[in-house]
Structure 1
Amino acid sequence: MELAPRRHLFVLVHGGGGSRWDWHRVAPRLEAAGHAVLAVDLPTDDADAGLWDLADAVVDAMPADAPAPVVVGHSLGGFTAPLVAARRPVAQLVLLAAMIPRAGESVADWWTDTGHGELEGTDDDAAFYHDVPAALIAEARVHERDVQARAMAEPWPLPRWPDVPTRVLLAADDRFFPPAFQRRVVAERLALEPELVAGGHYAPISRPDAVATALLEGLPDGPGRTIGGRRPPPTG
């Protein structure tokens, strides 16, 4: 795969049960703005796949001569995106309605550790798809995959968050990760001020214009600087 000269490379990481299809409405909008886009299928349906296997699936899909990318992790992709930054130079990390891990924490433990399990009304389809058009929900069902990877039970392997400019985007109408819940988790774990984008948990499907606009408006503005993002403190 050869990348035409463009301003930035976006690497888009889907969430649990999803696929690269989840980005099929956002990617053309980023490309129309003159950027390269790479959306990758993670091996979440492979029982033998660990956390590093998920990250390596992303890294292996990137051309060796690709510029340092903007890596965007959606939902469960928040566990994978920072691991990509441990494998390859990354210009920026963006977390969209994402899980934010701590050192040594597994996906399985995250729900209890963050208090998500105490929230009401977050365990049904409405929490995921309430603002997605019916036709797109039916199409999403076709692309859903069972999450069987052993990565779900593995401790997150980094000792701290990568020293990479990071942005956190909250979906304003997210019923699965409500904004108030997310703000608390972001404050506790990254000490960053999150930004709001329109839409529910599956905003890449329901509100692709809003997601693409947010990604474009916060692009890195030169080495070590970002618009709307900063490096988290070096905490575990």
Structure 2
Amino acid sequence: MDSKRHFVLVHGAGGGAWCWYKVATQLKSVGHRVTALDLGSTGMELTGPDTILTIHDFARPLTELMASLPQDEKVILVGHSYGGFCISLAMERFPEKVKVAVYVSAFMPRPKIPPALLLQELFRESKLEALMNENYTFDHNLDRGMGDDYMAEKLYQNCPPEDLELARMLPRPVKMFMEDLANESFLTEERFGSVERVFVVCGDDRALGVEFQRRMIDRSPPKAVKLIAEADHAAMLSKPHELCQCLEDIAKNYC
């Protein structure tokens, strides 16, 4: 069991712990411990969305988990999409409790650079500038570019239809917390920068395109880069076996 690790899986905007069900099952089947979290007011987390006012509120389930870990326990943090901001917060607060951080087609911010710039860059390129006002929703009744068509064509296009249907049945309001992410002191080299990072590129991601992913990598090179060529944005659903293999390799080589 010395080779078995504790993976903490952190979803992105509009998701929940549910989106990791395939990956969690496979990792557990080979003996790893897995914690898949619902962030604030997502999935089964019952906090009302009106009470989630800052990114720290949103990430609180993760930071509470990290604070509860024994001093001698280290985890592999895995963040997807917007969850990259949340694992970065956890790395800043608890660098001594993180073996390695894995960004799965996730926003990977840099110390002393406002993380909001990444969102603004992506929204401009995607012609989704309206989302910069901080709030959007996957609610099917609001046509702001993030409804059923966007989910089917940009987020889950390579997933089995039942996974797309599941995502459609579990929409939750989302905030971008642009004001919080505009803070230059969000991360430091001394703490966040002390944690090893690995980036998993999703090669058929139409939400965070490959060029955008590669630019984040070039600006702040991680310890290693892995590619899942045919993964869409939701790699944990479209290519769960390949993602699990990446995570197994990371656990063996970087822990």
**TM-score normalised to the size of structure 2?**
0.75
- Provide the residue aligned with 2:63 in structure 1: 59
Write out aligned runs for 1:1-236 (5 A).
7-43=4-40, 46-47=49-50, 48-61=52-65, 63-65=68-70, 67-88=73-94, 89-102=97-110, 103=112, 105-107=114-116, 109-112=117-120, 114=121, 117-119=124-126, 124-125=150-151, 126-148=153-175, 151-155=177-181, 156=183, 157-160=186-189, 161-190=192-221, 194-197=225-228, 198-219=230-251, 221=253, 226=254
SS of residue paired to 2:58: helix
One-letter amino acid of the structure 1 residue matched with residue 125 of structure 2? E
Q: Partners in 2 of 1:6 and 1:220 — Cα distance?
A: 7
Alignment RMSD: 2.7
Q: Tell me if structure 1 keeps the 8 A contact 2:40–2:59.
A: no
Structure-2 separation of matches of 1:191 and 1:22: 25
Question: CA 1:115–1:201 in 2, change beyond 3 Å: closer, same or farther?
Answer: closer
The alpha carbon displacement at 1:145 in A equals 1.1
**Partners of 2:21 and 2:33 in 1: CA distance:** 14
Structure 2 unmatched ranges of 5 or more: 43-48, 129-144
Letter in 2 for 1:212: C
Greater mean deviation of Cα atoms: 157-166 or 124-133: 157-166
**8 A Cα contact 1:106 1:153, kept in partner:** no
Task: Summarize the Cα distance change of 1:115–1:36 in structure 2 as closer, same or farther, 3 Å threshold.
Answer: closer
Give CA-to-partner distance per residue, 1:196-218, whole Å, 9 cap, x none.
Answer: 01411011111111111111111
Deviation at 1:5, TM superposition (A): 8.4
User: Which amino acid counterpart does residue 148 of structure 1 have in structure 2?
Assistant: K
Partner SS, residue 169 of structure 1 = strand
Q: Which moved more, 1:136-145 or 1:71-80?
A: 136-145
Over 3 Å counting, the alpha-carbon distance change for 1:190 and 1:144 in structure 2 is farther
- 1:119 and 1:148 map into 2 onto residues whose CA distance is 18
Q: Which amino acid aligns with 1:7?
A: K
Maintained 8 Å contact 1:14/1:77: yes
Greater Cα offset, 79-88 or 90-99: 79-88
Which is helix-richer, 1 or 2?
A: 2
Partner of 1:232: none
Aligned residues: percent identity?
A: 27
Output the CA distance in 2 between the equivalents of 1:218 and 1:139. Answer: 29
| SS of residue matched to 2:7 | strand
Letter in 1 for 2:187: L
Q: Which moved more, 1:85-94 or 1:185-194?
A: 185-194
Distance 1:55 1:120, change over 3 A: closer
Q: How many residues align?
A: 217
C-alpha separation between the residues in 1 aligned to 2:114 and 2:195?
20
